[in-house]
Structure 1
């Protein structure tokens, strides 16, 4: 049994004790906080295990030098982490945090490290895997705390 399955069965036990409206409210709060933590981690350019994303490949002929000797690097996924794209869904039985619309393809390519075109009709490139969504130990602790808070209410 994986760690996530064990955590899911533990949380399911507590969620079963709640009535449907209270369960929906608990899952909504958990989804909201989970989205916030994912957004913050993406802004820090870190994977769920705490390691940094692989650096963006340098682009030629693009004002790379900001000051003498330093290469300018912009943060990746600036728009991807906005609530407009990083969506939450929940009902009385489940919750989901993920990307919606056309941006989901971009997120999937980076999450799994797939091949994709750099631009329409452009060259294909194998993107390194940059895990955007995942659970950290802090996320699990936050879910436990929120769930226990809703059960105690």
Structure 2
């Protein structure tokens, strides 16, 4: 997916949205945000980015069953819940954001930054794992939602 796809969608949607009352647009933005959150949560559960590429797996651990070992389960199970993945809407925009400390953790993984593992632990270069974004299906979903909302 390219930025041209997003611009094309924005180009034909903007005149339709401008004709709506602010309360109607806000209602539509909330519906779109919920759908996008669900789509992003499903991708995070599948351990893949918006473009469909699988995330780089966790670094192998040599813990041999020690207490506190990283469990062999999907990454970001709590981070993808509605408690941490918040909907941000108004009559002009719709979006998703991680808040607080979870936002910092999400940014480190999303962009592949360097950070301390623990408060006093070693510094680690995390691989980039795109947590949020748009796929082609998301753009189609947005277009469908707008059309469903406009049609009586």
Structure 1 and Structure 2 fold alike (TM over 0.5): yes
Q: CA RMSD in A?
A: 1.6
- Residue of structure 1 in register with 2:139 after alignment: 140
Query: By how many angstroms is 1:46 displaced?
Result: 0.7
Query: By how many angstroms is 1:53 displaced?
Result: 0.5
Scaled by the length of structure 2, the TM-score of the pair is 0.90
Paired residues of 2:40 and 2:132 also in contact (CA < 8 A): yes
- Residue of structure 2 in register with 1:67 after alignment: none
Query: By how many angstroms is 1:8 displaced?
Result: 2.4
- Residue of structure 2 in register with 1:152 after alignment: 151
1:27-106 correspondence to structure 2 within 5 Å: 27-63=29-65, 73-106=72-105
Scaled by the length of structure 1, the TM-score of the pair is 0.89
Structure 2, unmatched stretches of 5+, are: none
Query: By how many angstroms is 1:17 displaced?
Result: 1.9
Paired residues of 1:17 and 1:151 also in contact (CA < 8 A): no
Counterpart pick for 1:10 among 6, 9, 12: 12
- Residue of structure 1 in register with 2:22 after alignment: 20
Query: By how many angstroms is 1:20 displaced?
Result: 1.1
Query: By how many angstroms is 1:11 displaced?
Result: 2.3
Stretch of structure 1 that moved more, 90-99 or 126-135: 90-99
Rate the CA distance shift 1:103–1:62 in 2: closer, same or farther, 3 A: farther
Distance in 1 (alpha carbons) for counterparts of 2:64 and 2:99: 31
Distance in 2 (alpha carbons) for counterparts of 1:138 and 1:62: 41
Moved over 3 A (4+): none
Distance in 1 (alpha carbons) for counterparts of 2:16 and 2:24: 12
Query: By how many angstroms is 1:9 displaced?
Result: 2.8
